[in-house]
Chains A and B, each alone.
Chain A
């Protein structure tokens, strides 16, 4: 198992390097100019100066390797320093990946944005899993029953209606018409007592629900399919023949087996938590990672987009690996050597 993990990790390295190059190159080639969004009143000479000051004068390859060094060495060190308070090496003169728009280190921006994304998107994911698993189990056990039909329909609805549509609809209903929930997420809100906690719940309600609906739909469909697969297996008959209670048969024997693929699917979805939900964050003004990415794209903040995209790629690779390993842990049949 360990050896398998090591092997997978080793394989990931060239993959990640390839991705880093693709990401860098694609974004670098994009016809975007950091000064394009500035007012037209700024004269061209000044624009040119701004471009040079952003390091755009150097050749592509040099910039790539510089960025790679900054990303792989300097930024982790800086984050480490911030977390531990230690000073490692020449931290004063360490060149960091700077955002074009804010001129601040990109990682600082990301670290700042992470909490709201983790809260809202993470919570929605938890809600989704909590809803989806029982839903899938019951749907499968009572296949073709009314519950199953309705559940199937709702989960279909969940991934058929784009989040931007549900999001807007919720805002109109709950913020504009009913006035129950705030339409704008307050990222500076601090939970310190019951009231502020209640406010936090209220402001998280809509984005969480929108995302949870979409996620729960996917997971519950997986859960249902997996349960159906397992319900017809011979070992279920064996368990019944042993006189085990039906509830135990379903919730222990079948569920345990059905969860194996579902857990890996859930693990594969985790990077999206860190990646943020671009559309939902945009709609509800949850200024998390997804919103950061969109601002980055809109303002041609290439270093920011490059870094975010690459981090996202790393997360995907890592969670792929985790999903694989989880599979091995959960399923005793899998031996990775």
Chain B
């Protein structure tokens, strides 16, 4: 396009702003993303600080207050052994979100590393892409289930019951979900590599490592961030699916998926046991997806120009 996209900024008085400020400006214009960010922020704050305000121990049973509906004493009601649902949902959210975020971080780390290496070094491209294909072809859910059976107890023994399972689930989700990111990053790196500023860095004599860290990585950050939001959402869903199938965290360890699994039998009797964790899973995933959508728009230079 020639004249239609009047993208050259006015030379006279360009407000001094970095690229990220620009992205943020565009992001703010995306209503869905802003609502998503608000909801996600709220959930995040709630699960981080909520347990400090709502101090009931989520594991504390109260046989005199079983299957309570919503009340002031128990805003989300109680379960069939009288544990407070609000406390459980908050505690479960900590785990679910921590799983989501950590698993995403693991998967991004692997995905970005493999993507950058494959995209940047031609020699590594073949083998690394074969590896990616191999992982893509591995049916994830069954292997996930098996791996959990396989390593659960070893890790439990070494890291304690909670940290062990957490580590395991996070690692497994991370290790089995990096492939899309790697592919996207690789593609992006391959185009970036042809961009003249990379050539310019080479002509300056910048070392390869620094070319990657200084020129390649910052520029693949936006696809990585978009995949990251999708990754968080996917990891939360995967964890809850595993828990739902009864194969994730053990029953005494509340996560949203686990709460949903335990509560599903009580769906008609105390709907709160399903609705609250279900709502939180859905809201979190929804808001994160909307954030991803907004980020994608905000970082897409074609859209940003408009």
Contact = CB atoms under 8 A, between A and B. Distances in A.
B185 interface: no
Contacts of A31: 149-150, 153
Contacts of B150: 26, 29-31
B104 interface: no
A252 to B, nearest CB: 23
A275 B139 contact: yes
Contact of A317 (B137, B141, B241, B278): B137
B267 A168 contact: yes
A19 B240 contact: no
Given A156-B289, A157-B286, A316-B139, A164 B146 contact: no
B139 A312 contact: yes
Interface in B268-286: 268, 274, 278, 281-282, 285-286
Contact of A160 (B143, B267, B286): B286
B281 A297 contact: no
Interface string B49-61: 0000000000000
Contact of B237 (A27, A30, A149, A162): A162
Contacts of B199: none
A162 B286 CA distance: 11
A256 B127 CA distance: 34
A122 to B, nearest CB: 18
Contacts of B134: 15, 18-19
Contacts of A160: 233, 282, 285-286, 289
Query: What is the interface of chain A mostly: helix, strand, loop, or mixed?
Result: helix
B274 A168 contact: yes
Contact of B244 (A18, A152, A162, A312): A162
Nearest to A272: B139
B302 interface: yes
B245 interface: yes
Contacts of B293: 152, 156
B16 interface: no
Interface size class of A (residues with CB under 8 A): 35 or more
A50 interface: no
Given A165-B260, A320-B133, A294 B146 contact: no
Contact of B137 (A15, A26, A32, A297): A15
Contacts of A172: 267-268
A159 to B, nearest CB: 7
B130 interface: yes
B244 A279 contact: yes
Nearest to A318: B137
Nearest to B247: A297
A1 to B, nearest CB: 20
A309 interface: yes
Contact of B143 (A11, A164, A275, A309): A309
Interface in A270-316: 275, 278-279, 282, 293-294, 297, 305, 308-309, 312-313, 316
Contacts of B247: 297
Closest 6 CB pairs of A and B: A160-B286, A160-B285, A312-B139, A316-B137, A161-B282, A165-B278
Interface of B: 1, 32, 130, 133-134, 136-139, 141-143, 145-147, 149-150, 153, 233, 237, 240-241, 244-245, 247, 260, 264, 267-268, 274, 278, 281-282, 285-286, 289-290, 293, 302
Interface of A: 11, 15-16, 18-19, 22-23, 26-27, 29-32, 149, 152-153, 156-157, 159-162, 164-165, 168, 172, 176, 232, 234, 275, 278-279, 282, 293-294, 297, 305, 308-309, 312-313, 316-317, 320
7 contacts: A19-B134, A32-B149, A156-B293, A157-B286, A160-B289, A278-B141, A313-B139
